[in-house]
Structure 1
Amino acid sequence: MNPFSIRQAPEFIQKEIQEIQEHIAPMLKKSLGFSFVSFPLIGFSIINIFFLVAIVPDTAPKMIPIVLYAILGALGFALLKESSIKTKEVHRTGIAYMKNRIEKSSNVMEDVKKRYIRSLEEEPQQAINVFCEFLTYEHNRSPFKSN
Structure 2
Amino acid sequence: MFQRTAEMPAFIKKELEKLEEKIQPVMKKASKYVLFSYPLIFISIMNLFLVLFGMTTTENAALTIMIYAVIGAVGMALSKEGKLLRKDILKRTAEYIIDRINKSEDASESLKNKYIMLVKGQPFLLIQHFIEFLKEEKRDRLYS
TM-score by shorter chain over 0.5: yes
Divergent runs of 4+, >2 A: 2-7, 58-61
Paired AA for residue 13 in structure 1: I
Paired AA for residue 20 in structure 1: L
Equivalent residue for 1:102? 101
Q: Root-mean-square deviation (CA), in Å?
A: 1.6
- Unmatched segments (≥5 aa) in structure 1: none
Equivalent residue for 2:51? 52
Equivalent residue for 2:117? 118
Paired AA for residue 74 in structure 2: L
The 5 A counterparts of 1:121-140 are: 121-140=120-139
Inter-partner Cα distance in structure 2 for 1:3 and 1:19 = 12
**Residue 125 (structure 1) shift:** 1.2
**Residue 126 (structure 1) shift:** 1.0
* Cα separation, partners in 2 of 1:40 and 1:92, compared to 1, 3 Å: same
Paired AA for residue 31 in structure 2: L
**Residue 109 (structure 1) shift:** 1.1
**Residue 58 (structure 1) shift:** 2.5
Inter-partner Cα distance in structure 2 for 1:27 and 1:132 = 22
The 5 A counterparts of 1:5-16 are: 5-16=4-15
Inter-partner Cα distance in structure 1 for 2:48 and 2:55 = 10
Equivalent residue for 2:88? 89
Cα-to-partner distance string for 1:48-90 (whole Å, 9 max, x where unaligned): 1111111142344300010010011001000000000001101
- Unmatched segments (≥5 aa) in structure 2: none
Inter-partner Cα distance in structure 2 for 1:61 and 1:29 = 39
Q: How many residue pairs get matched?
A: 143
Cα-to-partner distance string for 1:105-139 (whole Å, 9 max, x where unaligned): 00111111011000001111111111000000111
Paired AA for residue 112 in structure 1: L
After TM superposition, the score normalised by the length of structure 2 is 0.94
Equivalent residue for 1:64? 63
Identity of aligned residues (%): 32
After TM superposition, the score normalised by the length of structure 1 is 0.92
